[in-house]
Amino acid sequence: MLKIVQYGVHDVTYPRNARVRAAFQDRFDAEVVVVTQSRASSRLRRIRQDLHGLWRASAGADVVMLAEMRLTHAPLVWLVGRLRRAVVVIDRFIGLHETAVEDWGSVAAGSTRARRFALQDAIATGLGDLVVTDTAVRARALSAVTGREVLDLPVGAPAWAGSTAPIRPGSRLRVLYYGNYIPLHGTELVVDALAELTATRRFTATFVGNGVRRAAIEQRAAELGLRGRITFLDAVSESELAELVERHHVVLGVFGSSTKATSVVANKVWQGLAAGRVVVTQRSAAVEELARIAGPLLVQTDPGSAHAITSALADIELDALTTDSARAHTAQLAARLEDFVAVRFDRFSRRLAALVAGGPR
């Protein structure tokens, strides 16, 4: 039995690391030891706890994997991996530079800090015996920069999404956004689109989640006369989220303006499609990979256009979603999406097995 350490996990319920962990258990019957991020109040104590947790967990490990939100710890994981003679896997799911500089704009492009983030990203990518990210588009981009193989491991959808009840008929369109109001999601654009939609369609919208930008979004919605149209809710549990998805016709995806926004397939896109809901998200090469599988349930809009979002929502025909043929397509969709994910995880598993058999490079 393989022993695999998943280090630096910020939240064991987060879909990304949960999916990877399940793959290790299903494909290798592996013992997976999770080392979560220290929450100690002092930085020195956090470092000590993280180091101690990694070193203790890695005894006898065959693989040490750096989780998706801990790239700054890549040198530590590499060093421990070498000392333990374990294969090092780096999950390049979220880059430091793309998040701080491109998405949030909290760090000026070209600044010393921005260059440091870019360097840390590059170092992390170079230290893995095996490097993964979430889409083929991002994998190709990283490979072009680093000159090494990067595999795509799609986010996929959790089991609850595939067991969602079919869409119910109705005359009023019900639209759902959920997330943390990060720039990647482009919620300002969504609110502008919903304001325009009031002139042509009856609808209600639910926004679920918290985040530093939520108050600004609520204020913008009120200023645009949407107070009675949008219900704002705090973050909910997974079971409550499943119920909310079931009560809505549409799940909103990603509408941000960064490079990352055009190269990812967000959790909510996978979940909405697997649940048989219409997913409206901006057009990208990454999302296009799912278009053939998703069919009419995936509606792509022109990037940066609130009007395109409005038009997409206005054109949704609720009656067409409840026909026998539509229900048949929806019933098969979760399984077809899972097949798409499984092919890529199988390839990853073969590469990892070969590395474990041959030893780290």
CA pair distance 352, 358, nearest whole angstrom: 10
Q: Any bridge partners for residue 3, and if so which?
A: 31
Q: Which residues contact 361 (CB under 8 A, 6 or more apart)?
A: 129, 355
- Cβ neighbours of 204 (radius 10 Å): 15
Beta strand 87-91 pairing with 31-36 = unpaired
Phi, psi of 198 (to 5 degrees): -60, -25
| pTM of the predicted protein model | 0.93
> Over its length of 361 residues, how does the chain's per-residue pLDDT go in tens digits?
899 999 999 999 999 999 999 999 999 999 999 999 999 999 999 999 999 999 999 999 999 999 999 999 999 999 999 999 999 999 999 999 999 999 999 999 999 999 999 999 999 999 999 999 999 999 999 999 888 899 999 999 999 998 888 888 777 999 999 999 999 999 999 999 999 999 999 999 999 999 999 999 999 999 999 999 999 999 999 999 999 999 999 999 999 999 999 999 999 999 999 999 999 999 999 999 999 999 999 999 999 999 999 999 999 999 888 888 888 888 899 999 999 999 999 999 999 999 999 865 5
Residue 92, both tokens? 């390049």
Residue with the two structure tokens 């959920």: 178
| Residue whose entry in the numeric block shows the structure tokens 């609520």 | 218
- Other Cβ atoms less than 10 A from the Cβ of 92: the count is 23
Residue 342 burial (10 A CB sphere; 0-12, 13-18, 19+): middle
Which residue, 333, 322, 329, 178, is CA-closest to 254? 178
Query: Any idea how long the chain is?
Result: 361
Domains of the chain, each with CATH number or no CATH: 2-153 (3.40.50.2000), 159-337 (3.40.50.2000)
